[in-house]
């Protein structure tokens, strides 16, 4: 490669143009590009008022409202022990599916994804940045929820609480893939409607506020098969120390695999 000629021209008098670099690839290290993209993703998430509402404010309101006001027929000894893991599942769904899905759909609509496709940031780098942004957001969400739970409702984690970390990662994979599946295949408006619609459905049948076995029988089967309850229940098992059901984790991973494969196959960048 020694014959590659590097030409760097610099600004001349009266010439309104940038210098050009010829003969050498001018790409930044992927880590630098991905970090810059992650920062931009986070900035944009925090600037979208509805994004902050759905990812931070609503989960906090759910937690406070239900923990303080509604007596829950609980399997756990205290409402907070039942509620907090479920609300963490809500937080994962809101940032992974709703926020990521809707933002990505509009980026596709505005042609931003296509424009990025001609930049040195590789597509896997864009995905990595989006995942990093979602994970950062989740750390903030969970920190706020745990803080409120611990300070105002006396919540304490069980010894097995560390298990929640891989479960949150798995849940993020599942719901982020679902969000990207919608964003890459549907029109932006359709993604907006379906992500918000699914969010409400998942809240209702995810066993978040009410244990699934308290549901009417015809709702119990779909509730047990769909991923929200699997995520909420396994988080509950980890955080209360009652043990994580392997079936729940397997179900979650199965859905994650299906969503990821479907998203990879159907995702349209433009």
Contacts with another protein, residue ranges (CB under 8 A): 7, 9-23, 25-29, 32-33, 35-37, 40, 43-44, 47-48, 107, 110-112, 114-122, 270
DSSP character for 5? P
Pick 95 or 234: Cβ nearer another protein: 95
Both structure tokens of 172: 């993020």
Q: Least distance (Å) from another protein to the CB of residue 270?
A: 8
Q: Least distance (Å) from another protein to the CB of residue 180?
A: 18
Cα angle value 62/93/230 (rounded, 5°): 95
Q: Least distance (Å) from another protein to the CB of residue 54?
A: 16
Q: Least distance (Å) from another protein to the CB of residue 10?
A: 4
User: Of 94, 37, 111, nearest to 208 (Cα)?
Assistant: 94
CA atoms of 79 and 154, how far apart (whole Å) = 11
Q: Least distance (Å) from another protein to the CB of residue 198?
A: 24
User: Of 138, 142, 156, 116, nearest to 36 (Cα)?
Assistant: 116
Pick 10 or 77: Cβ nearer another protein: 10
Angle between helices 123-153 and 100-109 (to 10 degrees): 150
Pick 20 or 139: Cβ nearer another protein: 20
Pick 11 or 243: Cβ nearer another protein: 11
CB 108 within 8 A of CB 123: no
Pick 8 or 219: Cβ nearer another protein: 8
Helical H segments across 154-245, by residue range: 164-185, 188-205, 217-225, 227-240
Q: Least distance (Å) from another protein to the CB of residue 120?
A: 4
User: Of 172, 135, 149, 159, nearest to 260 (Cα)?
Assistant: 172
Pick 26 or 77: Cβ nearer another protein: 26
CA atoms of 44 and 202, how far apart (whole Å) = 25
């Amino acid at each position: 490669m020694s014959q590659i000629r590097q030409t760097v021209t610099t600004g001349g008098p009266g010439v309104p143009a940038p210098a050009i670099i010829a003969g050498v690839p001018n790409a930044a290290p992927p880590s630098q590009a991905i970090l810059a993209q992650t920062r931009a993703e986070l900035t944009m998430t925090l600037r979208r008022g509805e994004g902050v509402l759905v990812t931070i404010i609503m989960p906090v309101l759910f937690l406070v409202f239900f923990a303080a006001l509604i007596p829950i027929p609980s399997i756990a000894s205290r409402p907070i022990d039942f509620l907090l893991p479920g609300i963490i599942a809500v937080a994962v769904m809101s940032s992974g599916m709703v926020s990521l899905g809707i933002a990505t759909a509009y980026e596709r609509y505005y042609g931003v994804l296509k424009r990025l496709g001609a930049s040195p940031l590789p597509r896997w780098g864009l995905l990595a940045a989006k995942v990093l942004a979602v994970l950062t957001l989740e750390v903030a969400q969970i920190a706020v929820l745990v803080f409120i739970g611990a300070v105002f409702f006396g919540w304490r984690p069980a010894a097995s609480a560390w298990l929640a970390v891989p479960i949150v990662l798995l849940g993020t994979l599942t719901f982020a893939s679902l969000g990207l599946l919608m964003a890459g295949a549907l029109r932006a408006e359709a993604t907006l409607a379906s992500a918000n619609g699914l969010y409400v459905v998942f809240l209702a049948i995810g066993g978040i506020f009410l244990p699934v076995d308290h549901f009417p029988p015809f709702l119990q089967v779909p509730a047990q098969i769909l991923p929200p309850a699997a995520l909420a229940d396994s988080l509950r098992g980890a955080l209360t120390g009652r043990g994580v059901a392997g079936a729940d984790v397997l179900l979650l991973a199965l859905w994650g695999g299906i969503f990821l494969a479907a998203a990879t196959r159907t995702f349209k960048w433009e």
